[in-house]
Amino acid sequence: KGEHFELAARIVQQAGNAMLASGGWGLLLAWLEKLPAARVHASPELSLFYAWGLVLTGRLESVESRLSDVERALNEEDLSQGGTKAEGMRLYWRGQVAAVRGRAAYLRGDVQEAIKNSRQALDFLPETDLTTRGILANTLGLSYLSTGDMYAASQALEEGRLVNEAAGNLLTTLE
């Protein structure tokens, strides 16, 4: 039975990004909930998928604990070898955590925290991560709209539309 869970975990790791980009958030969560909790908690990738699935479905109560799992697992992993590549991975993970926190803050109504975390995430994430950058642009646009900054909101929402279209992410293009 353990080998089946390990295979299932590898499948989720391989399919997770595609599921997030295509709106398969509920299915992704269902798969993650079937895995042993210890396996998910020990994997920064699975914990991050879990956090994204929770925030994208509006289930905010457990998001922070999943992000803590990501941070804890990363602290336990040895990223000291690999020089520039390891530093790039460190920034990527920090960006992903900030992105989830930004989106969760927006959904809780804390627009200043949403703006702060979303900007931080954009600083850390590679230009090629179109799915996350599109979500962040939308989060920023909606947050700026909430503050009354119409110019910043229109700029961010237009950026979100363009990035989401480029990513083929129609769900967030329509947000």
Taking the C-alpha atoms of residue 169 and residue 21, their distance in angstroms, rounded to an integer, is 6
- Which residues are CB-contacts of 4 (< 8 A; sequence separation ≥ 6)? none
Residue entry with tokens 């929770």: 54
Those residues whose C-beta lies under 8 Å from the C-beta of residue 1, and which sit 6 or more positions away, are none
**pLDDT, tens digit (0-9, with 9 covering 90-100), for 113-155:** 999 999 999 999 999 999 899 999 999 999 999 999 999 999 9
Using alpha carbons only, give the angle 75, 81, 87 rounded to the nearest 5 degrees: 65
Sign of CA dihedral 63, 7, 131, 125: positive
Q: pLDDT per residue over 16-62, tens digit each?
A: 777 777 778 888 888 889 888 888 888 889 999 999 999 999 999 99
**What's the whole-model pTM score?**
0.87
